[in-house]
Amino acid sequence: MSHQINPISPIINSDELMEIRTNKNLVLVDARSGKNAKSDYAEKHLNGAKHVDLNLQLSHIKDAANGGRHPLPPINQFAKTLAELGISEESHVVVYDDTNGMNAAARFWWMLRSIGHEKVQVVNGGFQTAIKNGFPANDKEVTPNKTEPYTADRWLLPMATIDEVEAHSEKADFAVIDVRESYRYNGESEPIDPVAGHIPGAINVPLAKNLDENGLFRSPEDIRKLYQSILQNKNADRTIIHCGSGVTACHTILAMDYAGLEIPKLYVGSWSEWCRNDKEIVVEE
């Protein structure tokens, strides 16, 4: 697979972040999500980090049957969010969450890359690793220096629609990768969406396979070997990644980019959209 090399790695280690923490163009973003995200941020966050809300700022939640549980917000709304966070075209954005980058940090990375912002990195190991390695943290609220609205008019990274997934998921020359845990893929139980199971033809590669036993990204070489063995030389435009709601799938896309592979298509609606639209569902016996 061909790959246009980004000037910087999509992953940054906490010691590297320590070295650049006083750079004037650095914008540090806390993307922890969940019901306690705001209180967790208020209690303790990395020095200088501004919080971004997955549900309110990185999604445009309406009807899960039309776009899934976390559809992308309108591009002009996201541009406004970036301005509110003090992010401009010149900013070096570093983002973290508390799930090893597997949740909203990866989503924010994907969204920035998808408007053409190349200087964005995800903290390897997330919040916990940065704290463990001595990155300073406090409970001081950070007031962003708002900038002019970011210039963005469309999403640039490839995406797949529900119709495209349905048309190609069982074709031998396509790969649809489901990054959810195996028990959800197998249909043993479903903790979030109304129906359990998976899309016909989808391959289960749980996103935890991108990480080592310490919750850090495996080497680019190891990740590349993993996906090359799965994809069997399928092109990125015939590779579709999905999860439950289009958030954690971004972690696998992040890992593939880190490994030097071409960025595949994201199915934003993911299982949350698929299972609400009377589509065929597979449950493993």
243 is catalytic: yes
CA–CA distance, 187 with 195 (Å, rounded to integer):
8
pLDDT mean across residues, the chain? 95
pLDDT of residue 57: 97
Q: 112-128 burial, b if ≥16 CB within 10 A, otherwise e? A: bbbbebebbbbbbbbbe
Smallest CA-to-CA distance from 108 within 180, 30, 161 is with: 30
Do 238 and 265 form a contact (C-beta atoms < 8 A)? no
Question: Which pLDDT band, with edges at 50, 70 and 90, does 194 fall under?
Answer: very high
Q: Which residues contact 117 (CB under 8 A, 6 or more apart)?
A: 87, 89, 91, 93
Identical fold, 11-138 and 162-274: yes
Please tell me the predicted confidence (pLDDT) of residue 1.
41
| Residue whose pair of structure tokens reads 């799965």 in the numeric block | 230
pLDDT at residue 4 above 90? Answer: no
Q: What does the pLDDT read at residue 5?
A: 52
Q: What does pTM read for this prediction?
A: 0.96
Confidence of residue 6 (pLDDT cuts 50, 70, 90): low
- Domain spans of the chain, in order of start: 11-138, 162-274
Mean pLDDT computed over 101-113? 97
Q: How far is CA 26 from CA 86, 110, 270, in A?
A: 10, 18, 32
Rounded Cα gap, residues 165 and 203, in angstroms = 13
Angle of helix 249-258 versus helix 220-231 axis, rounded to 10: 110
Cα four-point dihedral sign 15, 105, 10, 142:
negative
Q: Which residue out of 243, 250, 254, 275 is catalytically annotated?
A: 243
The pLDDT of residue 164 is above 50? yes
CA–CA separation, 23 vs 5, rounded Å?
24
pLDDT at 145: 86
- 8 Å CB contact between 282 and 198: yes
| Torsional sign, CA 30, 23, 11, 158 | positive
- Per-residue pLDDT of 111-142, as tens digits, reads 999 999 999 999 999 999 999 999 999 999 89
Name the one residue in this structure whose structure tokens are 């039309």: 66
Tokens coding 58: 């990185």
User: What's the rounded mean pLDDT across residues 237-266?
Assistant: 98
- For 54, 222, 263, 271, the CA distances from 238, given in Å and listed in that order, are 28, 22, 11, 19
Q: Which residues contact 150 (CB under 8 A, 6 or more apart)?
A: 78, 79, 82, 83, 87, 88, 89, 115
CATH topology of domain 11-138: Oxidized Rhodanese; domain 1 (3.40.250)
What integer is the mean pLDDT of 53-66? Answer: 96
Smallest CA-to-CA distance from 119 within 155, 81, 90, 76 is with: 90
Inform me whether the pLDDT recorded for 54 exceeds 80.
Answer: yes
Q: How many CB atoms lie within 10 A of CB 277?
A: 12
Topology of domain 162-274 in CATH is Oxidized Rhodanese; domain 1 (3.40.250)
Average pLDDT of span 185-213: 97
Closest CA to 279 of 193, 198, 215, 213: 198
